[in-house]
Amino acid sequence: MASLKELSTRKDPLTGGHRMCPGCGAPIVVRQILMASKDPVVVVSATGCLEVSTTIFPYSAWTVPFLHNAFENAGATMSGVEAAYQNLKKKGKMTEHVNFVAFGGDGGTYDIGLQSLSGAMERGHDMLYVCYNNEAYMNTGVQRSGATPMGANTTTEPAGKVLQGKREWRKDLTEIMVAHSIPYVAQGIIGNWSDLTRKAEKAFSIRGPKFINVLQPCRLGWGYKPDSTLELARRAYETCVWPVYEVENGVYKISKPKEKKPVVEYLKGQDRFRHLFKPGNEKLIADIQAEVDRRWNLLLAKEATK
């Protein structure tokens, strides 16, 4: 990987003074991914927190070419940009290599934008799609998405007197992307910049469709102090709630925590899970632990079968 000294000389894709919340992980995702590119980048963003907070006209925090079209179509929009680039390159009107990076939140990626993403990946466009996954529709006020974990309190599946937050397990988008047989799929966290930047660097070295799913704690939707964003991301990794791994041409490589911590270590710091600690909800926590274990073991088995 490029040295930290070298990375520090690269152009910052976002200016300071954008309007993301204090402690927001989304701009960290953008910086950790884009600083891995030694070549020019062109960015497409789905509608969402990142887009609305960085592009309030007449200001834009983006120092690189940036396009926002709509919510569910970052994959398709980037397909068009990339097709235009390939055409210009074919005709000799552009010569430099460009890394095309689409950013979408989990709502714009797991849910409403899944088809657009799937199509773009299947067609083999040379692009990296990054999901900055904060596990709910944060921009519209913390509504549940297909990425929201079981038991989490959201405004459309709230914890109440009868129900205890989201009743369903989250969808495994990363594995859906693996099933597309694209050259590179990865899952990462913002709490380990060198790992995520290395993954992005690897993605940029590969031609064709790439996908990285980054867990991005949201201090507003998850309910924690703004200074613990990175720490919380690391706890997701240490508890195996959010495995950090990559799949390169079908081969799994998992970053295993030194010691697999119990899920309560991750759940307890967050308001969205607070109701799980009420008497009577012990089984829910046990269920979450069992599901995390099941998925973790499944992943280990995938790595073992080479």
Coil, strand or helix at 215: strand
User: Quick one: which segment of 118-126, 205-213, 244-252, 264-272 binds other proteins (CB under 8 A)?
Assistant: 118-126
Answer for the pair 215, 240: CB distance below 8 angstroms, yes or no: no
Pairing of strands 99-105, 127-133: parallel
Query: How is residue 248 annotated by DSSP?
Result: E
Residue 65 binding other proteins, by CB under 8 A: yes
Distance of CA 228 to the CA centre of its chain: 18
Residue 273: φ, ψ to 5°: -110, 5
Buried b / exposed e along 27-50 (16+ C-beta atoms within 10 A): bbbbbbbbbbbeeebbbbbbbbbb
Query: How is residue 12 annotated by DSSP?
Result: P
Coil, strand or helix at 28: helix
* Shortest distance in whole angstroms from residue 94 CB to other proteins: 7
Distance of CA 255 to the CA centre of its chain: 17
Instruction: Rule CB under 8 A: choose which of 90, 161, 258, 283 binds other proteins.
Output: 90
Query: How is residue 52 annotated by DSSP?
Result: H
User: Quick one: which segment of 25-33, 115-123, 199-207, 231-239 binds other proteins (CB under 8 A)?
Assistant: 115-123
DSSP H or E run through 246: strand 244-248
Residue 260 binding other proteins, by CB under 8 A: no
Residue 16 binding other proteins, by CB under 8 A: no
Residue 42 binding other proteins, by CB under 8 A: yes
Residue 138 binding other proteins, by CB under 8 A: no
* Shortest distance in whole angstroms from residue 11 CB to other proteins: 10
* Shortest distance in whole angstroms from residue 97 CB to other proteins: 11
Answer for the pair 285, 165: CB distance below 8 angstroms, yes or no: no
Q: How far is residue 22's CA from residue 43's CA, in Å, rounded to a whole number? A: 23
User: Quick one: which segment of 39-47, 221-229, 239-247, 248-256 binds other proteins (CB under 8 A)?
Assistant: 39-47
Residue 21 binding other proteins, by CB under 8 A: no
Q: How far is residue 105's CA from residue 293's CA, in Å, rounded to a whole number? A: 26
* Shortest distance in whole angstroms from residue 43 CB to other proteins: 9
Instruction: Rule CB under 8 A: choose which of 3, 9, 22, 57 binds other proteins.
Output: 57
Answer for the pair 180, 300: CB distance below 8 angstroms, yes or no: no
User: Quick one: which segment of 111-119, 147-155, 163-171, 248-256 binds other proteins (CB under 8 A)?
Assistant: 111-119
* Shortest distance in whole angstroms from residue 59 CB to other proteins: 8
Residue 75 binding other proteins, by CB under 8 A: yes
Coil, strand or helix at 181: coil
Instruction: Rule CB under 8 A: choose which of 81, 101, 203, 285 binds other proteins.
Output: 81
Residue 73 binding other proteins, by CB under 8 A: yes
Instruction: Rule CB under 8 A: choose which of 14, 24, 36, 44 binds other proteins.
Output: 44
* Shortest distance in whole angstroms from residue 253 CB to other proteins: 30
Residue 106 binding other proteins, by CB under 8 A: no
Instruction: Rule CB under 8 A: choose which of 87, 140, 155, 249 binds other proteins.
Output: 87
DSSP H or E run through 212: strand 209-215
Residues that bind other proteins (CB under 8 A): 40, 42, 44, 51-52, 55-58, 60, 62-70, 72-73, 75-88, 90-91, 94, 96, 98, 115-116, 118-120, 122-123
